[in-house]
Chain A
């Protein structure tokens, strides 16, 4: 277990609706990244947040937006849902500036499975 938690675990929405997914980082981590994983594919980077600011974005439209809070937890918001948004949404936390002894990589939560009908 990584200590990264996500809610909800499953969600069903209809096309055009809006959704908010939540993530709590691993204790001591200050950076959160979000990924979309379609069935049979590897995760694709959506964006990353560090110190409550967006710090890099993948090839996703503006209807995908996010927030990071002072306690480093994070939200992913998706507006105007489309059928192709059906996927597993993964949150990963990491530690920036952890020094030479830290492993600068990302630890994933269990994901939220979103189905858009």
Chain B
């Protein structure tokens, strides 16, 4: 079993839809959880950062962490064509400066006008 599992999609939704992306993990020592957005042939861009459990909201984006289920989610409200990208979950035992991040494979999202 991989440490981090993420459905690669592709996922196609109409503009304005609510998008739900998720990852599961096996390492109970993970404390730091991130979502990155990666456009084609570009580097990953940090979207959301959460330490331990709980919810975090930033504009149209909401990140949820459920450590008891080892499950994290990213919700995108009122999705736009510009949201079309690959979304990567990442997590680590220490913070970003304390060691490596483990990434999922990424989910490719397409938002149709």
Contact = CB atoms under 8 A, between A and B. Distances in A.
Interface of A: 2, 4, 6, 30-31, 33, 40-45, 48, 50, 55-56, 58, 88, 90, 92, 94-98, 103-111, 113
For the residues of A in contact with B, the DSSP-based class is loop
A33 B49 contact: no
B8 A40 contact: yes
Given A109-B43, A110-B43, A42 B105 contact: yes
Contacts of A103: 49
A6 B43 CA distance: 10
Nearest to B97: A96
Contacts of B101: 33, 43, 45, 105-106
B81 interface: no
A108 B45 contact: yes
B43 A108 contact: yes
Nearest to A104: B95
Given A40-B8, A108-B36, A48 B44 contact: no
B32 A42 contact: no
B106 A42 contact: yes
Contact of B34 (A50, A105, A113): A105
B3 to A, nearest CB: 11
A83 to B, nearest CB: 20
20 contacts: A31-B97, A33-B100, A42-B105, A43-B44, A43-B88, A48-B99, A48-B100, A50-B97, A94-B95, A94-B97, A96-B97, A103-B49, A105-B34, A105-B49, A105-B96, A106-B97, A108-B36, A108-B43, A108-B45, A111-B43
